């Protein structure tokens, strides 16, 4: 065995260990739509917390769908987080029509030391009365039975935290290819397909579209007071839950809830991740550059080697295995199967997103998000 083969076999080992959770997720997928809903009325009370800033295009339809959910005892608390469009007025108009089922809270100023969305969610939870709180976004569309299905699995497994991955709507083929790779990376980095095992604390997840927690669990982990400046608030909330030894599980939400991640194509996705990507490496330059190097070595290099005529066993395992995983992920998520063929392109775009996020954050000394600046020093201190 020559040196080239030895390096390639090391990459195969790294590939296999890192992607085992992703393979498990695509081989054994679980969807909330397959869960039989609890149809009785003896279900715990629930509060839906909906923070929104400048969501005038989607907020009315989202709220009206939430207000039509088939569930015996729930309330909706909508927080208008300093919107500059018609979001607040739309919330007030809907509330005037439906009465006490919808509470509207207007935030005029952001307290120092808080990210806007995190403050809004904390404020909403403090006003809630439910035994459970559902943290969601102002552009998520719900199926009427999603709460009954969710509560059925929570009560069956005695969960403290249930996460549903939304069906992600897209407009272009390239958007779908990038989102497909993002799904693979999410499975690999958070290991969430293995989250049901309580002892495995390195597997966790939270999703902004659907974080359903017992109120007692939310209080036990300290709530958003523990995450005031966390830009990846949803994922880190899930991490806190798991680190506290609480029971967590994740289901696919295809057919039960949907969201359009970004509305402006691939570049919109790139822009949308500019505040998050650097936080994924704990704002570390070394970790970011290392992650990009590993992604290129494991996912891009094997395809280049194939094009150069290298057909050794480890190269075939790396290239063929990655392509099969990408195709399997596309089928599981519901994207066109051909989306999986653009795997190497998606890797390169993802690497560009990470490097761009790092560069912008370092150049600015922090991140701009929704017209508010958060310094890098504060973000790093909050993460620690």
Whole-angstrom Cα distance, residue 317 to residue 321?
5
Whole-angstrom Cα distance, residue 247 to residue 314?
39
The set of residues, in sequence order, having a beta carbon less than 8 Å from that of 11 and lying 6+ positions away, is: 297, 298, 301, 302, 314, 318
DSSP character for 109?
S
Instruction: Calculate mean pLDDT across residues 359-363.
Output: 94
3-state SS class at 226: helix
Instruction: Calculate mean pLDDT across residues 318-330.
Output: 95
Lowest-confidence range among 29-33, 61-65, 118-122, 260-264? 260-264
The set of residues, in sequence order, having a beta carbon less than 8 Å from that of 117 and lying 6+ positions away, is: 51, 53, 81, 233
3-state SS class at 231: coil
Summarised one tens digit per residue, pLDDT across range 40-60 is: 889 999 999 999 999 998 999
> Which pTM does this prediction carry?
0.92
Token pair for 334: 């519901």
Lowest-confidence range among 59-68, 112-121, 234-243, 275-284? 275-284
Whole-angstrom Cα distance, residue 299 to residue 183?
15
Residue pair 149/33 in contact by the 8 Å Cβ criterion: yes
Q: How many CA atoms lie within 13 A of 34 on its CB side?
A: 5
Domains in the chain: ranges and CATH: 3-26+267-364 (no CATH), 29-172+190-262 (3.90.550.10)
pLDDT at 263 over 90: no
pLDDT at 89 over 70: yes
Per-residue confidence at 135, pLDDT binned at 50, 70, 90? very high
pLDDT of residue 383: 77
Per-residue confidence at 99, pLDDT binned at 50, 70, 90? confident
Relative to beta strand 366-369, strand 372-375 is antiparallel
Rg (CA), the chain: 21
pLDDT at 231 over 80: yes
Q: Which residue has the tokens 């809630």?
A: 128
Instruction: Calculate mean pLDDT across residues 79-91.
Output: 94
Whole-angstrom Cα distance, residue 278 to residue 367?
10
Token pair for 116: 């806007």
């Amino acid at each position: 065995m020559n040196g080239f083969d030895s390096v390639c076999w090391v990459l195969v080992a790294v590939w296999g260990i890192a992607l085992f959770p992703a393979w498990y997720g695509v081989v054994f997928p679980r969807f909330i739509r397959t869960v039989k809903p609890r149809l009785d009325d003896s279900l715990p009370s629930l509060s839906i917390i909906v923070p929104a800033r400048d969501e005038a295009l989607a907020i009315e339809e989202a709220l009206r769908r939430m207000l039509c959910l088939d569930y015996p005892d729930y309330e909706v608390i909508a927080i208008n987080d300093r919107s500059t469009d018609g979001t607040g007025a739309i919330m007030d108009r809907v509330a005037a029509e439906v009465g006490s089922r919808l509470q509207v809270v207007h935030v005029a100023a952001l307290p120092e030391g808080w990210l806007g969305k995190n403050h809004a969610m904390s404020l909403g939870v403090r006003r809630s009365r439910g035994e459970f709180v559902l943290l969601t976004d102002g552009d998520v569309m719900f199926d009427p039975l999603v709460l009954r299905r969710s509560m059925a699995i929570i009560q069956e497994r005695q969960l403290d935290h249930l996460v549903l991955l939304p069906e992600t709507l897209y407009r272009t083929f390239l958007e779908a290819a990038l989102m497909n790779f993002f799904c693979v990376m999410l499975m690999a980095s958070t290991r969430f397909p293995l989250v049901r095992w309580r002892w495995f604390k390195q597997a966790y997840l939270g999703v902004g579209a659907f974080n359903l927690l017992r109120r007692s669990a939310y209080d036990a982990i300290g709530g958003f007071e523990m995450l005031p400046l966390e830009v990846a608030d949803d994922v880190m909330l899930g991490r806190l839950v798991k680190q506290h030894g609480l029971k967590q599980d994740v289901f696919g939400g295809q057919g039960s809830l949907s969201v359009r991640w970004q509305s402006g194509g691939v570049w919109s996705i790139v822009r949308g991740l500019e505040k998050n990507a650097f936080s994924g490496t704990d704002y570390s330059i070394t970790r970011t550059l290392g992650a990009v190097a590993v992604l290129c070595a494991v996912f891009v290099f094997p395809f280049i080697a194939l094009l150069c005529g290298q057909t050794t066993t480890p190269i075939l395992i790396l290239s063929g295995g990655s392509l099969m995983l990408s195709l399997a992920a596309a089928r599981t998520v519901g994207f066109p199967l051909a989306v999986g063929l653009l795997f190497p392109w998606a890797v390169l775009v993802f690497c560009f997103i990470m490097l761009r996020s790092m560069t912008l954050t370092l150049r600015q000394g922090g991140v701009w998000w929704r017209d508010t600046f958060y310094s890098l020093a504060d973000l790093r201190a909050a993460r620690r």
